[in-house]
Structure 1
Amino acid sequence: MPHAVITGATQGIGKTIAEKLLSKGYSVAICARNKEKLAELTQEWTAQYPKATIAAYPADLGNRTETEAFGKYVLDTFSQVDILVNNAGSFLPGDICEEPDDRLETLMSVNVYSAYHLTRVLAPTMKNAGSGHIFNMCSVASLKAYPNGGSYSITKYALLGFSDNLREELKPHNIKVTAICPGAVYTPSWEGSGVPSERIMEANDIASMLWSAANLSPQANVETIIMRPVKGDL
């Protein structure tokens, strides 16, 4: 049975990706700060996918020590890692010159450093296997400056740069790296916003694209996926 690791998997895009992979026969390892939510999901998914291993670990991925501990837990639980989805992230809008002094550091720790440190723990097992696929959840904010983007947009630019450099480094090991850059996706963060759900993309749109990219021939890789609502960005 193949194995996948998904961060930020208790809601929204991450949860939908995890359920897509479970439905395709994967075992999954997930993490979140909320122990109760992790326990609920583990129970739900175990009942729905009895053949899969659901490995859940409480961790704050804004903390390097906890991020690396999650990675070591994965290696102790799974014999291999076939797919890594660095999805954990935080969105805090603002203006660079007006936002709180620690905004950049806060967002870098979750949006960039978590992917960097977790990948460094898990990549060696992919190298040993000579295969694997790493997906980094970037954003259209990785591609273009937007009003009120502030430090959030800076971190998403950085995550795209991390993806490009990581891909170049891992090519000789037959490890694929794909950056996914979605626009607005209807997740719990949009509830109560007044924006109708039919105006923006569904989380399953992202999961479906990831699954398609993960199932190309071994010699093919989709380097960057850009997705926007059909009517454009909000």
Structure 2
Amino acid sequence: MKNAIITAATKGMGKAIAIAFANEGINLAICSRNSDELAAVKAELTALNPKIKIFTSVTDCSIKEQVKAFALEAEVELGTISIIVNNVGMYTYSSILDDTEDAFTKQVNTNLAPAYELYRYFGKKLMTARSGHIFTICSVASLTPIAEAGTYSVTKYALLGLSKVMRLEMQPYGVKVTAVIPGSTLTASWDGMQVDKDKMVLPEDIASAIVNAYKMSPGANVDEIIIKPAFGQI
């Protein structure tokens, strides 16, 4: 049985990805800052597939020490981790000039640093194993910046850059690295806004794309997955 670690997996894309991997019979290590939400998702996943192991951790991914502790505990509980899903992120609607004093640090620590730390922790282990797959949830803002979400765009550009560097470093060892680049996706970021879900990407679409990329033959790597709403960005 393979083991996957997913950051921020109690809602939105993270939860959909956890469900998709559970359906594939993959053991899961998931984290969130909310213990009640973690317990509820664990119960849902266990009901979905009682044969898999599920490790949960209350983790604030913006804190380096907690990310590293989550990685270590996941290994202890499940064994070798071969799938990494860098999902945690935050969206702040603000131009750079209107940012709060801590906006840059907070978004770097949430949107970029956790993926960097998990790569530092697992990278050489994946190289030694000569197998594995790293998925990083970026954004269309990684390709085309959004002035009204300036610092968010900067961090997502950096995250896509990190994914490209990881892929180049992992290539000689057969470890796959995929950047997932969603457009307007129906997640908690849209709470309180009136949107038509039939004109948006759904979290399940992202999860389906990830599982399909994961299941490809050993010689095939999907470098980037770009998924946008059929009717255009919201």
TM-score between both structures, scaled by the size of structure 2? 0.97
Corresponding residue SS for 1:212: helix
The match for 1:72 is 72
Shift of 1:75: 1.6
- Aligned ranges for residues 21-170 of structure 1 at < 5 Å? 21-170=21-170
CA distance in 1, matches of 2:84, 2:106: 23
CA distance in 1, matches of 2:203, 2:42: 20
The match for 2:6 is 6
Corresponding residue SS for 1:186: coil
Deviates more, 1:177-186 or 1:190-199: 190-199
One-letter amino acid matched to 1:56: T
- Any unmatched runs of 5+ in structure 2? none
CA distance in 2, matches of 1:129, 1:152: 34
- Aligned ranges for residues 169-180 of structure 1 at < 5 Å? 169-180=169-180
CA distance in 2, matches of 1:217, 1:46: 28
Shift of 1:82: 2.2
- Any unmatched runs of 5+ in structure 1? none
Deviates more, 1:156-165 or 1:36-45: 36-45
| CA contact 1:185–1:202 (8 Å) conserved in 2 | yes
| CA contact 1:32–1:57 (8 Å) conserved in 2 | yes
| CA contact 1:75–1:122 (8 Å) conserved in 2 | no
The match for 1:16 is 16
Count residues with an aligned counterpart. 234
> Deviations for 1:156-188, whole angstroms, at most 9, x for unmatched residues?
000000000111011111111100110011123
Deviates more, 1:129-138 or 1:194-203: 194-203
Off by >3 Å, runs of 4+ in structure 1? none
CA distance in 1, matches of 2:113, 2:24: 29
The match for 2:194 is 194
Q: CA RMSD in A?
A: 1.1
The match for 2:221 is 221
Shift of 1:216: 1.1
One-letter amino acid matched to 2:114: S
| CA contact 1:80–1:126 (8 Å) conserved in 2 | no
CA distance in 2, matches of 1:121, 1:210: 22
| CA contact 2:53–2:78 (8 Å) conserved in 1 | no
Shift of 1:114: 0.7
CA distance in 1, matches of 2:20, 2:7: 14
| CA contact 1:8–1:87 (8 Å) conserved in 2 | yes
| CA contact 2:139–2:180 (8 Å) conserved in 1 | yes
Q: Percent identity?
A: 39
Q: 1:230 and 2:230 equivalent?
A: yes
Shift of 1:214: 0.7
One-letter amino acid matched to 2:104: L
CA distance in 2, matches of 1:88, 1:141: 16
| CA contact 2:3–2:82 (8 Å) conserved in 1 | yes
Corresponding residue SS for 1:201: coil
CA distance in 1, matches of 2:51, 2:98: 51
CA distance in 2, matches of 1:216, 1:59: 31
